[in-house]
Amino acid sequence: MNKTMLTNPIIWADVPDVDVIRAGTDYYMVSTSMHTMPGCPIMKSKNLADWEIIGYVFDRLEDNESHNLKDGKGIYGQGSWAASLRYHNETFYVAFSSNDMDRFYIYQTKDIENGEWTRSTFEGVYHDPALLFDEGRLFVIYGNGDIHIKELTADATAIKPSGIDQLLLITDKEGIGLRCEGCHAYKIDGYYYLLFIEWPNTGNKRRRQICYRASSLLDTYERKEIFDDDMGYDNHGIAQGAIFNTPESEWYAMLFQDHDAVGRIPYVLPVTWEEGWPMVGMNGKAPNELEINVPASSQKQLVISDEFDHRENKLALNWQWNHNPDHDLWSFTERPGYLRLETGHLINSILYARNTLTQRTEGPHCTGITMMDAANMKPGDHAGLVALQNHFGTVGIKADASGNKYVTMCVNDGEGREETVEEIPYSGDRVHLKIEFDFEDSKDLAGFFYSEDGENWSRIGRPLKMKYTLDHFMGYRMGLFNYAAVQIGGYVDFAYFHYQKSEGDM
């Protein structure tokens, strides 16, 4: 077996609330996707270091005004949260709750890479659920602080009549700000293990990983702190996630860390079993590098460039829409070699612009560049490139009521509306746009640029001090957008999206 050198974080981008399993020699991961669609991304790896997106559990979770970003409604910070991924009897299962729907979902498929997913829904939110298969029975364990257990039918489609449904344990309260949540449940060598994240307000005062164990499912659980480290980053603890083993029975954990504006980023850490407890890290610390006994693999990019030279209206898996898209209003085929975004709804902020097409940002530095043909914009239209979170920044073209065009840089005014920081009259139809992101050392700055020829760039507006806010609960994304404030039917064509990632100073 070849050895692979793994460098933490394994992905310096927003991949939160991870759950990881191994099926044969392949590793699969799911994470929270909230308001981005398609949702609940499935990632695959052969070696724990190199991960690629291979699909999504659903194209859209629900079809209503909020999920469709209509009439001033949305599901920012809601949607799909903290999914549980399991493989049992040659079937893959994904379970999660949606707060905005007050609903619990279980999806299942025989083929995680190419198969169709079937879904079952349950009324009520099962907070941060963990599926546990045990001797022909199926349970969901969930909650915050007070942890509950509910028995489902073995086929995962309904609550089992007269099955177990009770409070399982009460986690510690003394000195704890955020009590245990984010459950991951396992049965290993005759013990039941429940892994949680908690946030104490004493001691190190940072998120940490906690394990409860018992020799029978409904017995009294012992408690142990199994990891508490921030890897030197602003006392932001690394916690919440999965443990799993390799075919050679070496154990690892994947946990995440809040990394400010770029989002919540995952780490792979060694696990050592000590007196029956899964202790995480090396001497309690997160290593920068880790040599693991897994095969080498080719690196697949999480964020990609795209020339938009597609022969059908099918997106690369790296792209996600902000909320459900309107498929009648975007196209690769209307003008081959371009992405066309047409307006179809009247709004006054990019936060409610349907068909905003996004990818993650990555640290420590990255850049997104596009060229846009704005010849067919209508008065009141606004289109361009966005650094998307609630505290957003945009660079693009605005057309005024007379149809005059301006290169503009805008930000959120704090009330969800757009404040124009700078606008410059622009006579051409084609404009190149660029946003540079700097996440190194918590700078969290985005700079905005435009160019007539794609070579000579001018800065516009001011740098955006990016802020990770809990109303969106997602790291900053780059996005292409077009919306109408006065009349619908205008459109813009994007010639490409070019992405650059840099480890050094920009």
Angle at 398 between CA 397 and CA 400, to 5 degrees: 150
Distance CA 355, CA 342 (A): 9
Token output for 299: 């690196």
DSSP 265-311: EEEEEEEEEETTEEEESBTTB--SEEEESS-------SS--B----S
Token output for 351: 């936060």
Distance CA 7, CA 74 (A): 37
Query: Which neighbouring-strand residues pair with 13?
Result: 362
User: Is the Cβ–Cβ distance between 217 and 192 less than 8 Å?
Assistant: yes
Distance CA 216, CA 26 (A): 30
Q: Tell me: the pLDDT tens digits for 158-209?
A: 999 999 999 999 999 999 999 999 999 999 999 999 999 999 999 999 999 9
Distance CA 375, CA 383 (A): 12
Total residues found in the chain within this entry: 506
Token output for 49: 């270091």
pLDDT attached to residue 266: 98
- Integer CA distances (angstroms), 112 to 82, 107, 315, 318, in order: 18, 11, 19, 17
Distance CA 37, CA 55 (A): 11
- The DSSP call for residue 202 is S
Query: Which neighbouring-strand residues pair with 321?
Result: 37, 357
Distance CA 102, CA 126 (A): 9
Classify 261 as helix, strand or coil: helix
In terms of CATH architecture, what is 4-292?
A: 5 Propeller (2.115)
CATH class given for the domain over 320-502: mainly beta
Same fold, 4-292 and 320-502: no
Q: In the chain, where are the structural domains located?
A: 4-292, 320-502
**What is the pTM assigned to this prediction?**
0.96
DSSP 449-503: EEESSSSS-EE-S--EE----TTT-S--EEEEEEEESS-S--EEEEEEEEEEEES
Q: Tell me: the pLDDT tens digits for 438-447?
A: 999 989 999 9
> Tokens 């932001």, residue?
236
Classify 98 as helix, strand or coil: strand
pLDDT attached to residue 1: 57
pLDDT attached to residue 506: 40
Query: Which neighbouring-strand residues pair with 499?
Result: 368
pLDDT averaged over 10-residue windows placed end to end, the chain, 506 residues: 85 97 97 97 95 97 97 95 97 97 98 96 98 97 98 98 98 97 98 98 97 97 98 97 96 98 98 98 95 80 97 97 98 98 95 97 98 98 98 97 95 85 97 98 96 97 96 97 97 98 66
Backbone angles phi, psi at 261, to 5 degrees: -65, -30
